[in-house]
Chain A
Amino acid sequence: MKEFLDKRNSFIINNRVGYTADIYNDHDKVIAIFNSLKEISTNIEDHVDFLIENIDEIEVDVKNLMDIMKNRISYLTSAIVHIGKLKMSYPAIAKEGDIKLVDLTKGSYDNISYSHTDSGLIMNATTTTLFME
């Protein structure tokens, strides 16, 4: 048993020394890694400088992109809800002309308006001020 344990210790120590030696022996590799890091840092710095310089335009672009995405997602959600209801209610395939959505921008309203911001009908506000020329 003692013999086995001594061998094992020796084996582990040799291995550790081997790994360390590999790393330190490959000096060029380490230098290459540091150079690569330096280059990437410079690239990142350039990109960050560009972002800082153009922050106003980027903010507007991001906002526009978000608005477009929100509208698309809202439309898709609405379509998915209807498809879901259709699937749950009627397993048979519905024909065109068997589903009709009313045009919410048309009709008659009482204390309700169509909101372009929300793409739907909302209640009117209670206190409003008339603006005139």
Chain B
Amino acid sequence: MARKNYWIYGNKYISHNYMTLKAIQPGVIISSITAIAAAGGEVEIISNPTKIGKSAAIRYQAEVSDRIRVTIDHPLTEVLELKDLISIRLGLDNYETVGGYTSEETQINFNKNLTVVYDIENILDSFIKTELHLSTIDNYDNIIYSEIIPISINDDGWMVEYATGVSEIELPYKPVVDSLYVLIENSRINQYEISGNKVVLDIPEGYSCMVLYKPEFIEQGGLYEFSNNVSLTPSYGIVLRKDYSNKINFSLVLDIYNPDITSVNHTPIIKSLGLMTSDK
């Protein structure tokens, strides 16, 4: 493992309190990062060795500078230039309004009851659309069935759908009509029709639309039959058909909408995500 220091520069002095690190080569470890502040002093941004996965971000106190010093541990530091190891961008935190995350496939013991567990901080006015992609497999690794189950990890059980430039938005669950909020560019509109699970409306070209709603089944109680293999409880507990399943392969897909209606410079922080199964 070779360690190397790099001085890197922007094209002007900027205020920054946010850094994204995108690894070009796998296994990059950042040993330290310091910024030369406007007053000339060297300010520490990272002091502990930090392993960068595909993409990592660091938030810190705002600094004004045009150069930073990066120390990297990687076997190829002697033969590759910095741009072939890692891409470093600095900015002031004014966050994206739409983003997505897909977890790697993970395996868990099969039990018929499933609950998605999560810990999200700083959610404020953002909404998260969540899909649980799962396949149940038998002892010989044959897939018994696969399902994509939309669920809510917003505390109140509301769901969200997002679209741009379409004339109708299909919702995975029948909505409680009175609960519908249809927002175009964050402004609520009332000119839409509901046809079954579809919200029919005209979204002007280049505008985005967000539909917030409460699914009917969470108010009805009892089990909601999502498909032949999956039923849902009103609190988004998932009940699976057993068959000969032994394990479950799952992945969580998140679409995060951060409309920033009431706050600026805000991001939700997703601290943990997972799945829990039980036969009780």
- A96–B237 Cα distance when bound, in Å, is 20
Within 8 A of B (CB), among A83-132: 85-86, 89-92, 94-95, 97-132
Q: Which residues of A contact B81 (CB under 8 A)?
A: 133
CB-CB under 8 A for A113 and B276, given A106-B54, A123-B258: no
A38 within 8 Å of B (CB atoms): no
One of B18, B113, B258 near A128 (C-beta < 8 A): B18
CB-CB under 8 A for A128 and B83, given A78-B272, A111-B99, A112-B101: no
- A95–B276 Cα distance when bound, in Å, is 10
- A125–B272 Cα distance when bound, in Å, is 21
Is A86 a contact of B88 with CB atoms below 8 Å?
no
CB-CB under 8 A for A116 and B119, given A98-B108, A132-B83, A133-B82: no
Within 8 A of A (CB), among B242-280: 250-252, 256, 258, 267-278, 280
CB distance from A79 to the nearest CB of B (A): 10
A81 within 8 Å of B (CB atoms): yes
Within 8 A of A (CB), among B23-80: 46, 50-51, 53-60, 67-68
CB-CB under 8 A for A81 and B54, given A98-B109, A107-B101, A125-B94: no
Q: Which residues of B contact A109 (CB under 8 A)?
A: 54-55, 99-101
A82 within 8 Å of B (CB atoms): yes
Determine which residue in A101, A113, A131 has the highest number of CB atoms from chain B within 10 A of its CB, and name it.
A131
Nearest to A86 among chain B residues (CB) is B276
Dominant SS among interface residues on chain B = strand
Q: Which residues of A contact B90 (CB under 8 A)?
A: 128-129, 131
Q: Which residues of B contact A110 (CB under 8 A)?
A: 99-101
- A89–B278 Cα distance when bound, in Å, is 9
CB-CB under 8 A for A94 and B96, given A127-B91, A131-B10: no
Within 8 A of B (CB), among A61-95: 74, 78, 81-82, 85-86, 89-92, 94-95
CB distance from A74 to the nearest CB of B (A): 8
Within 8 A of A (CB), among B1-32: 6-12, 14, 16, 18, 20
Interface extent on B, as a size class? 35 or more
Nearest to A91 among chain B residues (CB) is B280
Is A130 a contact of B269 with CB atoms below 8 Å?
no
Q: Which residues of A contact B101 (CB under 8 A)?
A: 107-110, 112, 121
Is A125 a contact of B102 with CB atoms below 8 Å?
no
For B186-230 the 0/1 string (1 means CB < 8 A from A) is: 000000000000000000000000000000000000000000000
- A89–B276 Cα distance when bound, in Å, is 10
- A119–B270 Cα distance when bound, in Å, is 8
CB distance from B269 to the nearest CB of A (A): 4
CB distance from B227 to the nearest CB of A (A): 22
One of B6, B50, B67, B103 near A107 (C-beta < 8 A): B103
Is A112 a contact of B53 with CB atoms below 8 Å?
no
One of A74, A99, A108 near B276 (C-beta < 8 A): A99
For B100-118 the 0/1 string (1 means CB < 8 A from A) is: 1111101111010101010
Supply 15 further A-B pairs (C-beta < 8 A) apart from A94-B276, A110-B100, A132-B83. A81-B119, A82-B272, A94-B278, A101-B272, A106-B53, A106-B54, A109-B54, A116-B56, A121-B270, A122-B59, A123-B268, A125-B95, A129-B10, A129-B14, A131-B68
Closest 4 CB pairs of A and B: A111-B99, A128-B91, A101-B274, A113-B57
| Chain B interface residues (CB < 8 Å from chain A) | 6-12, 14, 16, 18, 20, 46, 50-51, 53-60, 67-68, 81-83, 87-104, 106-109, 111, 113, 115, 117, 119, 121, 237, 250-252, 256, 258, 267-278, 280
16 contacts between A and B (CB under 8 A): A94-B276, A99-B275, A109-B100, A109-B101, A110-B99, A112-B100, A114-B53, A120-B270, A124-B20, A124-B96, A125-B20, A125-B91, A128-B89, A131-B67, A131-B90, A133-B83
